[in-house]
Amino acid sequence: MKFRARAPEEPEINLIPFIDVLLVILIFLMLTTTYSKFTEMQLTLPTANTDAQRDRPKEIIVAVGNDGRYMVGQTPLAARTVKALADALRAVAQPESTLIISADAQAAHQSVIAVMEAARRVGLAHITFAAQSGGEGSR
């Protein structure tokens, strides 16, 4: 009897157990991972480590109260509109002036945006925000 030599079989890689293990690892990671929730984020604004106050002639300070009142320099504004703010800024603006927005920590976000919109209408491109000194131990 003549036996024929069998051709060597190609090894077969079975991927199903590999995929099963990966799925188990993925499910494990999904169940054990904790995600921070943005609704629970606590913000404390505005506090920062600031340098000593400097007096520059081209600075325009706009104060925003927590009730939506505005003060340009030392002059309080009667109206609370963007147009009134723009007119007041136009009266005191110089070329290359820097606008400093000093907003109360409880001021509405819309009040600060109104100051920025008025600055855009006047053409003030340099805007910064004032913050109180937080000291070394503040967060």
- Asked whether the predicted pLDDT for residue 138 surpasses 50, the reply is no
Q: By the 8 A CB rule, do 47 and 131 touch?
A: yes
User: In whole angstroms, what is the distance from residue 95 CA to residue 102 CA?
Assistant: 21
User: In whole angstroms, what is the distance from residue 114 CA to residue 58 CA?
Assistant: 21
- At 58-70, the pLDDT tens digits run 788 888 888 888 8
Q: Name the DSSP letter for residue 114.
A: H
43 pLDDT tier (thresholds 50, 70, 90)? very low
- Asked whether the predicted pLDDT for residue 105 surpasses 60, the reply is yes
pLDDT at 40: 46
Give the strand pairing for 47-48 and 132-133. Answer: parallel
> Mean pLDDT, to the nearest integer, of 21-45?
72
User: In whole angstroms, what is the distance from residue 67 CA to residue 53 CA?
Assistant: 26
At the second CATH level, the architecture of 47-133 is 2-Layer Sandwich (3.30)
Report pTM.
0.56
